Amino acid sequence: MVFEPVLFVEAVLASPSWGEQIARNPQAKEFLLAQEPERFIEKMQQWAMAYAPSADSPVPGMSPEFFARLKMPVLIMRNGRQDLSHTRATSDWVHKMIPHSKMIDPPWDEDEWNLGRVRRAAGTQVGAFVCWPQAAPVILEFLKG
């Protein structure tokens, strides 16, 4: 099978995540398809590297030395066990990297991120962060010390 960059770009733009964006802004598809396919692919790969996992750090772009320099109070809301996008291991690792941090369970259900994705796909929820206002009282309490 021969790799066809133009077909690849069209396939990417047809994926659910890109499809949502294009549905909101149909001109975006024309704009993206007008780009040189190799350049589009190169840019997507460059962006992906920003999210690439590291053996040294749970957060792309943050070195262990950077974590060690954090001296301010840090509140970490534990990730859900079933969250495929934000693993529990990541929040546990961040907590270990910042020994003075406080880690708590978030004020929403364990599987909120996954269920939110399902609700958005079904059209019954707008936006990924609708539950985040529930965190405000917890954050305010943490800030009081």
Assigned domain for 109 exists? yes
- The total of structural domains in the chain comes to 2
Whether residues 71 and 130 fall in one domain: yes
Assigned domain for 57 exists? no
Whether residues 39 and 12 fall in one domain: yes
Phi, psi of 76 (to 5 degrees): -115, 125
Assigned domain for 39 exists? yes
Whether residues 76 and 18 fall in one domain: no
Assigned domain for 93 exists? yes
Assigned domain for 56 exists? no
Assigned domain for 36 exists? yes
Q: Which domain does 40 fall in, by range?
A: 5-49
Question: Which residues in the chain land under pLDDT 70?
Answer: 1-8, 48-52, 84-85
Full DSSP string of the chain? ----HHHHHHHHHHSHHHHHHHHH-THHHHHHHTS-HHHHHHHHHHHHHTT---SS-SSTT--HHHHHH--S--EEEPPPTT-SSS-HHHHHHHHHHSTT-EEE--SS-TTHHHHHHHHHHHTS--SS-TTGGGGHHHHHHHHH-
Dump pLDDT digits (tens) for 59-95.
888 999 999 999 999 999 998 877 766 788 889 999 9
Assigned domain for 58 exists? no
Whether residues 44 and 72 fall in one domain: no
Q: How far apart are the C-alpha atoms of 80 and 89, rounded to whole Å?
A: 10
Q: Closest Cα partner for 78 from 107, 55, 52, 115?
A: 107
